Amino acid sequence: MYDVAIVGAGINGSALAYTLQKEGLSVALFDTAVGAGGSGAAGAFLSPKFLKSSPVKTFINEALDEAFSFYEEVAGELISRYPLLHIAKDERDAKNIRYMKEHDEIEMLHSSPPFIPQNEYVYTAKSALVDAKKMCLRLADSATFFNEKVESLQKEKDGWRLNGSYRAKNVVLATGAYESLLKEPYLEGVLRGIWGHRIDVKSASYRSDCSIHQYVSISATKDDLLSIGATHDVHFRPDGAQKYDFAKGRAELLQKANTTLSLGDAKVIQDYVGLRSGSIDHLPLVGGVADLQATLQKHSVFELKKKSLQEEAYVFHKGLYMINGSAGYGFVLAPRLARLLSRHIVAGEPIDSLLLPSRFLSRYVRRKL
């Protein structure tokens, strides 16, 4: 029996496996491949969130320094520090940048960027690129990896059984969007899939030693290649009948990149696609999973609708956790989420209620019951 079984070997699951192993726990990691979905396709940019004050921005920007340190400790050769030129794509974005500049919320570079944009911009050293696939593989090395999809999950007296064959004291679901293993009504529709597309391109005329974000993300030049990526289609589902149009996706990425700067005769070398998972309130989900039916037996609907009722009063599935919903900031957030959940599992340390999956339970009760 393993101490923890993690279902999903993207950046969240892989980072958690690494962190739990350092705590001395035995870890089993399940997926069809390491970094097979949105994590493997990610540009894996580490950069701040450019918003006015909000819980989302605060959490992401506080996690950023931890991410730099984490990846450099794990595999320093797989993280490259490049400056970032972030350019406003509209007036709303420009207002957010001006706010951050006025309140000194971003570390600015005083040297000139590679070109001076017409729109409001930030030029900062607080940025890096991670080799997404290789980093997931390096982190996953710390666990016993099972190359299979988990189709069944059963609760037992002293833990959980996966696929009828594997046993673990604790299970963590790090599966991305459209999860089918967990049947909790209050979590239905909470996670949404966000289809991402990234291309590696070679340009004979363009070289840059900084990354640029505007309509899409354009990496610094590395090994004569640029990576161009974006959250590309919030409606496309890979499990649907319609196939993804790669040619259309490439054309759109190149068109948006060339709106920011001229790439010249850019040649697409490789495509990467995958489904990211984001939550409807834009904050990740990390922590124990509440049992709605057991909670309804303990508390009346009237009690559950009270905002004063603490989430600690809910009944939880023993030994069942989630780590999910990071959207386009998966590589920024994964180290911090992994630390929070690891310390919760190992030592019972509390997790901020803003991040707990059970935050959606009371909302469901107020809306549906």
- CATH number of the domain enclosing 154: 3.50.50.60
| Residue 232: predicted pLDDT | 64
Of the pLDDT bands very low, low, confident and very high (cuts 50, 70, 90), residue 237 is: confident
Mean pLDDT of 103-113: 87
Mean pLDDT of 142-160: 95
Q: Pairing between strand 27-31 and 144-147?
A: parallel
Both 215 and 321 in a single domain? no
Mean pLDDT of 177-186: 85
Both 290 and 266 in a single domain? no
Both 123 and 223 in a single domain? yes
pLDDT at 169 over 80: yes
Both 196 and 269 in a single domain? yes
Has residue 57 been placed in a domain?
no
pLDDT at 36 over 90: no
What residues make up the domain containing 216?
82-128+192-276
Domain boundary residue, one of 276, 311, 342:
276
Both 88 and 230 in a single domain? yes
Both 175 and 32 in a single domain? yes
> How many domains, in total, are found in the chain?
2
Give the span between the Cα atoms of 155 and 178, in whole angstroms.
Answer: 21
Mean pLDDT of 302-330: 88
Q: 128-148 pLDDT, tens per residue?
A: 999 999 999 999 999 999 999
Has residue 110 been placed in a domain?
yes
Under 8 Å between Cβ of 294 and 304: no
Both 119 and 8 in a single domain? no
pLDDT at 25 over 90: yes
pLDDT at 183 over 90: no
Mean pLDDT of 274-303: 92
| Residue 308: predicted pLDDT | 66
Both 203 and 267 in a single domain? yes
CATH of the domain at 213: 3.30.9.10
48-62, 251-265, 306-320: range with lowest mean pLDDT: 306-320
pLDDT at 104 over 90: no
| Residue 275: predicted pLDDT | 87
Domain boundary residue, one of 276, 301, 330:
276
Both 311 and 361 in a single domain? yes
Both 341 and 204 in a single domain? no
Mean residue pLDDT across the chain? 92
pLDDT at 233 over 80: no
Domain boundary residue, one of 254, 276, 298:
276
